[in-house]
Amino acid sequence: MIKGLAISTVWVLDQDRAKEFYTEKLGLEVRTDMTMGEGGMRWLTVGAKNQPEVELTLMVPGSPAMDPESAEAMRTLISKGVLGAGVLATDDVHGDYEKLTARGVEFLQEPQERPCGTEAIFRDDSGNWFSFTERRVEADLDLDKDWAC
């Protein structure tokens, strides 16, 4: 049976730049950085220090995962900034928003109250956008009218 999510792919335009962004600006740690086989693809994963069971694979579109036409289409979508890569959790969205802004992270939306908590939206160095969310305490949610996030 499925036990949970272990690794999720974030498509990036440049792995070295992405590694720098995710570690130096967001504060994630490198879990794996290796080349798979001679002339093979680079396997680069990062994750939050306090969540060792979940990793993000920072992958450049291309073989062996996809054909050249699809890889080019993916690069175009990434660079347009239309791909959402997920939700990153925080317990201090306002404080972390200030820290990340000072580190040069581009926010599309300042922290705003939502039914499920407080959310800001930022882009990574490739153009992917993330929801950056401090969830409300479950006891404060009205499950009849508040959507879960």
**What distance in Å separates the CA atoms of residue 115 and residue 117, rounded to the nearest whole number?**
6
pLDDT digits (tens, 9 = 90+) for 14-69: 999 999 999 999 999 999 999 987 778 899 999 999 999 999 999 999 877 789 99
DSSP string, 31-99: EEEEE-STT--EEEEEE-TT-TT-EEEEE-S-TTTS-HHHHHHHHHHHHHT--EEEEEE-S-HHHHHHH
Instruction: Give me the pLDDT at residue 52, please.
Output: 94
Q: Is the pTM of this model over 0.85?
A: yes
Instruction: Give me the pLDDT at residue 64, please.
Output: 73
pLDDT digits (tens, 9 = 90+) for 116-131: 899 999 999 999 999 9
Mean pLDDT score of the chain, rounded to an integer? Answer: 91
